[in-house]
Structure 1
Amino acid sequence: MPDTPPRRIWRFRLLGRFSVAADGEAVSIRSKLHQTLLATLLAHPNQVVPADDLVDAIWQRRPKNASNSLHVLVKRLRAALGDADRIRAESGGYRIVIAEDELDMLEFTSLLSSARNAGDQLAERECLAAALALWTDGLAPPPLAERDLTELDELRLTALSRRIALDLETGREAEAVPELRRLTQRYPLREGFWAQLMRALYQAGSQAEALAVYARARAELADELGVEPGVELRELYAAALSADGSGGWAPVCQLPSRIDDFVGRDDTLARLEHLLEPGEATRVVVVWGQPGVGKSTLAVQAAHRLRDRYPDGQWFAALYDRHAGRTSAHELLEQLLLASGLPAGQIPAQTGARSAALRARLADRRVLLVLDDAGESAQIEPALPGTGRCAVLVTSRRSLLDLPNARRTRIEPLRGDSGLQLLGQMIGADRVEAERADADELVRLCGALPLALRIAGARLSLRPEARLSALVQRLRDERTRLDELAVEGMEVRASLTLSYRGLNPGAQEALRRTAILPRTGFPAWALGAVTDGGDGERLIEALTASALLEPCGGDEIGQTRYRTHDLVALYVRDLAGEEEQVPSLRRLLDVLLARGEEVYREASRWTEELQPYQPPGAVPSEVDLPPLECPAEWARAERNLLLAVIDQACSAGWHADAARLADLVIPALHLGGGFDQLVAIRQRIAEAARAAGDELVAWRADYGRAEASLAEDVAESERTFVACAEAFERLGATTELVFSLTGVTFCRMMRNKPDLETAERALRIAETGEDRIAYCTAARTLAQVLQQHDRTREAVWLLKKTSREAATLNVGSLSSGLYRELARAALLLGDIETAAAACADAAPLLSENPHDEGWLLQLRSRIETAQNRFTEGAESARRSHEIFTDLGDRRAAASSLIWLADALWRCGEHAEAATLAEQARDALEAMGSTILAPQAERILAQATRSA
């Protein structure tokens, strides 16, 4: 029997955010009509939804043939899901077949049922909390009809109200107050939330605030409904009124409870304590940083440690609610005056008068004010004490540079093992240690942000039996990672959205454009290139001041580089629309092409590679840029940016421009090693070119891939060069054919299988071509093969002839290479004096190419050893090995070890020489290069005899 295909694991989300996933991968349903159809069916799981109801939900204006249109839509939705039996046609409508573990709404109702049947308050609350944790706040509600949305919201609010009632019954009023403030602002006509807020404040001893809440509730109900508060509110008002004082001063602590699982930040806490130490004047400190970094938690922790130094009160005000928005300065002053004990009826109506009243009440007091999540300085400046010995601790997503007389401390993500410690506090240190590798990856995927880690910890704590690896697997998918980092009341995406909406339009655009730039970091000018064409400095300042961009050090040419946090980068990618990114990418690509021309003009003095590709019909760049001081160093500093843009250009369909940019800058990048990257980007260009039907560009990219692979795998390079040669011959690309044949010859020479026929063929073709660099390269390679065939004198004649022509081309690397080859030939002939002279002639021709320096040092080592200057020979070989190791050229580095071993052997260091020779031989064999195997075996044999 044929194998039954494995059952796909589906996950449908409807509570707060609409999404579909199968086997952990997001299922893209782009059509709004399909989304509405699916969401409407999910809102009535396993029930027949009448066709008329579906039509009304999907179309604002009923189609002419509604039944047929609905049938077609259902058919296409089934195809999009890839599950033909998921949606079934029934009499009069359609029904979606769904299991409880596949739909969050079914899980929600099941948990509500468990809560109703729970035997005690604690169990009931846990069930309700688990049910509410299934809800997330999306940027937009699910695509449902208003009636379905209302029913869903009512289910949530009923469960939420019951959970808060349990909190108040079990002494958790301090935790309930901030939540109830947000709920009353979002749902001002639900008396139940107003009553619960009054009760929480009353139980916490804040009678004055409870009275103020009643006044606001009464005003809302009167304005909107024209009714008086109900019995419960009136009774609570009477109780608070009877307990209220006359406005005298009484120290009040409003700080939220400090958390038990606070980790790390010891140095920052010590700094805050120092900055907030009471003095003769008011201290103001701003704790700022990116969303989710733990600013509020840190501020509360610091405030508790400072309580005894501010005996007249410790006040706390939350300045933002995700439902009701920002608290105005006017509203903040009311809260603080109430905290000071001033009766609600005595609070002035005007903002200026409130500010003056607060300063008067704080005069000569020692009060600590914690103002959490300030959006701008104007929001809190009226609340700053004018005199006295108070302190103000402000948390903000921005640096608030315009807040007068403030000290600032930026908070970074957790460092070291602090992320693991936080996770261990939440789910148990033993559980973390048992899956340490997955725990480390979980911290990394959360960007070491406390908010993200708390969300992950909360999810894991709900399922003690679940393995960390399961959540890690879900978080690895960058497309859905932000969706996964959400539980009730905590959501990374919502936190990032608040910061984004606080930016001005220009900064918002700049943040979206960072999606084009590499996450490893970029300079200010690159941000300017993808936005307004300026230098990018003002945009960098705006994003850095909002903690959405962070400096990540300087580069080789003195530029400061910046990056977005990994989770910010994922959020930005979701924001960035392709229609606005493509023009920005084009502008950046044009800038880099212009810079690439400068880079290649410098590199052409020492590179012998295939000339850069010129797209047919290409026009010179019109980008006007100041010249670079050192183009090659600039290219190495911008390596990641260049490779990222080449990759994106391929995705955008600009493979020809991508190929030219690669050809212009890779000779300079080659000097910095990292050959794996260069191989990968050439492969990317080849794939894009083949997809576009451009064989020439594809095979040129493959040629470049083979060049980069020489440092790691000679056999693979040979196979690619052979394929390139066949393709270029078929395409009639003569110069490319010469270089490919030369590559084949070189690889076979490295494998100690000299191919004279191919070398001679390459030179014959090059003699008839116009590219004289190709001719000189082919001639030098033929000379190398002739030496392997013991025809060294012929090789010398050819090298001298070619050197004269190379001198006219002004390519230092080429002439230097020919002199080095003359020196090697002279060594074979035993003419050490001529070899030393040729080596000396090569030295002045060296340019910025460290490869040439490494090869010259290797050759010099051989000459010095032949002159019985063994110590100098060993030192030259050692320096050559260091250069090639730094460049990442393993093949060249291993060959240097051979000559180092030879010099050491002759110095009498037999054991070290044998070790290095064996190490080099094995490394070269692994790369398919055996040309130096005889030298290695000679040293090993001598070592054996000595032993």
Structure 2
Amino acid sequence: MFFRILGSLEVDRDGVPVHVGGIRQQRLLAILLLSPRQVVPVDRLVDLLWDRPPRSARQQLHNAVGALRRALGPTAITWNDVGYRIEIDESDVDAFRFQTALAEAREAAKVGRLAAAIDLLGGAVVLWRGDVLPGLGGDVIGNVAAQLHEQRLVAVEELAGWRLRLGESATIVGELRQWVGEYPLREALRSALMLALHRSGRQIEALAVYEDARRSLADELGLDPGPLLRETHAAILADDASSDIPAPVLSVEVDAAQRARSYLPRDASDFAGRSVEMRDLLDQAKSGRTTAVAISVIAGMGGVGKTALAIHLAHGLIDDYPDGQYFIDLHGFTRGMDPATPEQVLDTLLRDSGVPPEMVPASLERRSALWRSRLAGKRVLLVLDNAVDAAHVRPLLPGTAGPLVLVTSRRKLTALEGASPVPLDVLPAVDAIALFTAVVGPGRVAGQEAALAEVVDLCGRLPLAIRIAAARLRDRAGWRIADLVERLSDHTRRARLLAVDDRSVLAVLEMSCRYLTAEQSRLFRLLGLHPGTDFDLHAVAALAGLAAPAVDAHMERLLDDNLVKQDTAGRFYLHDLVRDCARHQLDRLEPAEAIREAEARLLDYYLWAAHTWSADLRNPIFEGAPLVRPPAELPAAPSEESRMDRLRLEYRNLLAAARAAIDRGSNAHAWQFACVLHPVFKIHNFGSGAVEVLEGAAAAAVGETARQAACAHALAAVFRERGDPAAAGVRARAG
């Protein structure tokens, strides 16, 4: 099926005309044809079809769609919850074929293929049969008709210029006379006619065309001929037959005020810190002024201040980018909203840049191309906030040097070509304190320096958490910072306190899991169970009950999504508030039995690890293997030296696992940790809580004679080592 709108509306199927009904059906079809495969909302269709919609407008619209389906086929027009769309390609509409041929002709002309360009453009021009969609009325159709009509005239002018360059002077005189007679005020057409006559040896006629233009302009508009006509007239008087006319280029021009539009959100008055990142971003901006597009990706965990940094920098650079400053929230991680599609974003950007709505192309490729064209040679600043991934932003990027693009995302956009990463971590302590102070005011923190340092640490030095906590204090005149510390110290109360109105640290962090697979989400939740400060792949594999290679792939994804952190190769850790988020999801989504099994697997792993790595140490308390399931795999430690290195590296985790066994009432693990770790504790002079672990294990073993005796023996040995035989005797008798 082929649709013609470059003239009266016509439809044919395999060369056979298709009748599409009355004016309303024709107008509806025309509106849908202007946006092939794009959903047009019902409310917009109603507004476009009626100046004053009747109560039955929706039913009448439904009837009109039904009539079109009967004419075009039952699947030609589809419906979703928003509106209707016509299921055709742009190539099925003559107007889009015209625009495609126009673009291809210009590309051919750029590379010197003038004959091919003339063929293409000539084929495009003959698609026209008259005025666009006459008799259908309406502002949208009228605006589109005017824009297409202007494109047609510019195409005719370009075609005339190219034909003149190839020496077709005499053959186009007749056509140009006809065009000039129809559009006497188009100076480019008159100029082409003058040159065609001059090069055909008809100088007097050429000068007469100029004189006629001069009189017409003076009589009708009170104006003199413009530069193009004057230059052509002068060339003919000088008998310069080689003179040429400039080929007009179709573009949507806007005035200076439009070019300088700024869509930046307001800057934060209490912005603090980020001097290092600001310096890096400024250096990257300078690099894009002459060589390539400057693209900076600010990536970091939710709530770390990516958007605030991008906006703060953008406001500081307004003078450097006078052609406009654009801000688009891509909603990649916005609660309750789907990510904005590149098509939607480009529609907004093109309109904001001054392109009339009816001139925004339908397809993503053409919108992207027009956007690149709009930015070519411009000093524009573009902030693309909250991106999902590299594919989300690629169609939105400029194609030439000059613009600066700032992208923010919770993910590391490694696949974004030519981008410079700016990883954003939590604030340094001094900047975190400065931000808190800026929100509450210096008077509320005076004399409370220690509590202030503690409260920003309890907020994980995460800017969003600091702002919310500081706002809580600011709005409660009776609180001191110590009251805030007390509330933040309890993890459950901390989640509630760091949520106010539409801002919640926990909700923000949970959105970071939006694109994880089910297995990745489960793994992230289980990481909330780990009691230590950091962990390696083998510990995670034991926790999840998976093989290490599978865990490796999942951990790389969590690392890319800034849900886990890594300072040392092979070792990972969670930010405190992210740990709260993981644990909250775990309690909400994971069955209690599955949680207990994961805890048991992790304790089994660390118990076997302690036993294996301490095999070279004398243990007078415990002999033999632990009475738990061995893990599938332990890190390689083939020598005594490597095993001792492992013990030193994992000591804090082993200690934390032992404490967790006591706290969670896993008595079988508790007493075995106390005994297996005894020689390791001895290396550390029984410090760092070792005695508390041994005493807790002894309490957990009450009622189990052999286990209680082993723990008592271990404690007695500790006090003997400390030179306290009396206490050692008490512990020994307790066993």
CA–CA distance in structure 1, aligned partners of residues 699 and 56 of structure 2:
69
CA–CA distance in structure 2, aligned partners of residues 592 and 381 of structure 1:
45
CA–CA distance in structure 1, aligned partners of residues 474 and 521 of structure 2:
36
Contact 1:679 1:709 in 2 (8 A): no
Indicate how the Cα distance of structure 1 residues 633 and 333 shifts in structure 2: closer, same or farther if over 3 A, else same: same
Please state how far the C-alpha of 1:601 moved relative to its aligned partner. 2.3
Residue of 704, 712, 718 corresponding to 1:702:
712
Secondary structure of 1:530's counterpart equals helix
CA–CA distance in structure 2, aligned partners of residues 643 and 309 of structure 1:
56
Q: Does 1:666 align with 2:678?
A: yes
Please state how far the C-alpha of 1:274 moved relative to its aligned partner. 0.7
Residue of 449, 471, 485 corresponding to 2:498:
485
- State the Cα deviation string for residues 218-250 of structure 1 (Å, max 9, x = none): 449989x9879xxxxxxxx99xx9xxx986252
Equivalent residue number for residue 675 of structure 1: 687
CA–CA distance in structure 2, aligned partners of residues 409 and 597 of structure 1:
43
Q: Note the 1:78-97 alignment, pairs <5 A.
A: none
Secondary structure of 1:633's counterpart equals helix
CA–CA distance in structure 2, aligned partners of residues 263 and 253 of structure 1:
24
Contact 1:706 1:718 in 2 (8 A): no
CA–CA distance in structure 2, aligned partners of residues 612 and 698 of structure 1:
15
Contact 1:678 1:705 in 2 (8 A): no
Aligned residue type for 2:413: L
Equivalent residue number for residue 339 of structure 1: 352
CA–CA distance in structure 2, aligned partners of residues 354 and 585 of structure 1:
53
Contact 2:298 2:424 in 1 (8 A): yes
Equivalent residue number for residue 37 of structure 2: none
Residue of 579, 584, 603 corresponding to 2:617:
603
CA–CA distance in structure 2, aligned partners of residues 724 and 449 of structure 1:
46
Equivalent residue number for residue 582 of structure 1: 596
Secondary structure of 1:602's counterpart equals coil
Equivalent residue number for residue 366 of structure 1: 379
Please state how far the C-alpha of 1:727 moved relative to its aligned partner. 4.0
Equivalent residue number for residue 291 of structure 1: 302
Secondary structure of 1:373's counterpart equals strand
CA–CA distance in structure 1, aligned partners of residues 521 and 440 of structure 2:
37
Aligned residue type for 2:371: L
Q: Does 1:634 align with 2:640?
A: no
CA–CA distance in structure 2, aligned partners of residues 276 and 674 of structure 1:
55
CA–CA distance in structure 2, aligned partners of residues 517 and 295 of structure 1:
28
- State the Cα deviation string for residues 699-732 of structure 1 (Å, max 9, x = none): 42233234335566x55x633x33343344xxxx
Equivalent residue number for residue 583 of structure 2: 573
Larger CA deviation: 565-574 vs 512-521: 512-521
Equivalent residue number for residue 248 of structure 1: 254
- State the Cα deviation string for residues 95-114 of structure 1 (Å, max 9, x = none): xxxxxxxxxxxxxxxxxxxx
Indicate how the Cα distance of structure 1 residues 256 and 680 shifts in structure 2: closer, same or farther if over 3 A, else same: same
Residue of 279, 283, 289 corresponding to 2:290:
279
Equivalent residue number for residue 412 of structure 2: 399
CA–CA distance in structure 2, aligned partners of residues 313 and 676 of structure 1:
59
CA–CA distance in structure 1, aligned partners of residues 416 and 700 of structure 2:
52
Equivalent residue number for residue 836 of structure 1: none
Q: Note the 1:547-566 alignment, pairs <5 A.
A: 547-553=562-568, 560-566=570-576
CA–CA distance in structure 2, aligned partners of residues 226 and 348 of structure 1:
32
Count of aligned positions: 485
Contact 1:421 1:429 in 2 (8 A): no
Secondary structure of 1:610's counterpart equals coil
- The structure with the greater share of residues assigned to helix is 1
Indicate how the Cα distance of structure 1 residues 364 and 583 shifts in structure 2: closer, same or farther if over 3 A, else same: same
Residue of 707, 723, 729 corresponding to 1:722:
729
Aligned residue type for 2:461: A
Indicate how the Cα distance of structure 1 residues 710 and 453 shifts in structure 2: closer, same or farther if over 3 A, else same: farther
- State the Cα deviation string for residues 375-417 of structure 1 (Å, max 9, x = none): 1112111111122421210011010111111110111111132
Contact 1:603 1:632 in 2 (8 A): no
TM-score using structure 2 length: 0.61
CA–CA distance in structure 1, aligned partners of residues 431 and 607 of structure 2:
44
- State the Cα deviation string for residues 579-634 of structure 1 (Å, max 9, x = none): 33333333333333433332242113xx5x3234777xx48847455651322321
CA–CA distance in structure 2, aligned partners of residues 357 and 648 of structure 1:
60
Indicate how the Cα distance of structure 1 residues 257 and 723 shifts in structure 2: closer, same or farther if over 3 A, else same: same
Q: Does 1:267 align with 2:276?
A: yes
Please state how far the C-alpha of 1:359 moved relative to its aligned partner. 1.4
Please state how far the C-alpha of 1:651 moved relative to its aligned partner. 5.0
Which sections of structure 1, spanning at least 5 residues, go unmatched?
Answer: 1-214, 229-236, 554-558, 729-947
Aligned residue type for 1:534: A
Indicate how the Cα distance of structure 1 residues 673 and 287 shifts in structure 2: closer, same or farther if over 3 A, else same: farther
Indicate how the Cα distance of structure 1 residues 597 and 463 shifts in structure 2: closer, same or farther if over 3 A, else same: closer
Contact 1:679 1:704 in 2 (8 A): no
Indicate how the Cα distance of structure 1 residues 309 and 613 shifts in structure 2: closer, same or farther if over 3 A, else same: same
Secondary structure of 1:280's counterpart equals coil
CA–CA distance in structure 1, aligned partners of residues 451 and 281 of structure 2:
34
Indicate how the Cα distance of structure 1 residues 627 and 361 shifts in structure 2: closer, same or farther if over 3 A, else same: closer
CA–CA distance in structure 2, aligned partners of residues 227 and 687 of structure 1:
79
Which sections of structure 2, spanning at least 5 residues, go unmatched?
Answer: 1-39, 49-54, 59-138, 144-250
CA–CA distance in structure 2, aligned partners of residues 426 and 247 of structure 1:
45
Equivalent residue number for residue 124 of structure 1: none
Please state how far the C-alpha of 1:516 moved relative to its aligned partner. 2.5
Secondary structure of 2:689's counterpart equals helix
CA–CA distance in structure 1, aligned partners of residues 364 and 686 of structure 2:
62
- State the Cα deviation string for residues 273-317 of structure 1 (Å, max 9, x = none): 111122331111100111111110001111112222222111000
Residue of 306, 316, 323 corresponding to 2:327:
316
Residue of 317, 329, 333 corresponding to 1:306:
317
Q: Does 1:356 align with 2:369?
A: yes
Contact 1:651 1:688 in 2 (8 A): no
Equivalent residue number for residue 655 of structure 1: 667
Residue of 556, 571, 586 corresponding to 1:541:
556
Indicate how the Cα distance of structure 1 residues 412 and 627 shifts in structure 2: closer, same or farther if over 3 A, else same: closer
Indicate how the Cα distance of structure 1 residues 332 and 588 shifts in structure 2: closer, same or farther if over 3 A, else same: same
Larger CA deviation: 412-421 vs 648-657: 648-657
Aligned residue type for 1:564: L
What's the Cα RMSD here?
3.0
- State the Cα deviation string for residues 93-144 of structure 1 (Å, max 9, x = none): xxxxxxxxxxxxxxxxxxxxxxxxxxxxxxxxxxxxxxxxxxxxxxxxxxxx
Indicate how the Cα distance of structure 1 residues 496 and 622 shifts in structure 2: closer, same or farther if over 3 A, else same: closer
Secondary structure of 2:429's counterpart equals coil
CA–CA distance in structure 2, aligned partners of residues 503 and 483 of structure 1:
25
Contact 1:519 1:569 in 2 (8 A): no
Indicate how the Cα distance of structure 1 residues 494 and 620 shifts in structure 2: closer, same or farther if over 3 A, else same: closer
Please state how far the C-alpha of 1:649 moved relative to its aligned partner. 3.5
Flag the structure with more relative contact order, 1 or 2, with Cα contacts below 8 A and sequence separation at least 6. 2
Aligned residue type for 1:309: D
CA–CA distance in structure 2, aligned partners of residues 627 and 545 of structure 1:
27
Secondary structure of 2:292's counterpart equals coil
CA–CA distance in structure 2, aligned partners of residues 706 and 562 of structure 1:
37
Contact 1:524 1:561 in 2 (8 A): yes
Please state how far the C-alpha of 1:363 moved relative to its aligned partner. 1.7
Equivalent residue number for residue 425 of structure 1: 438
Identical aligned pairs, as a percentage?
31
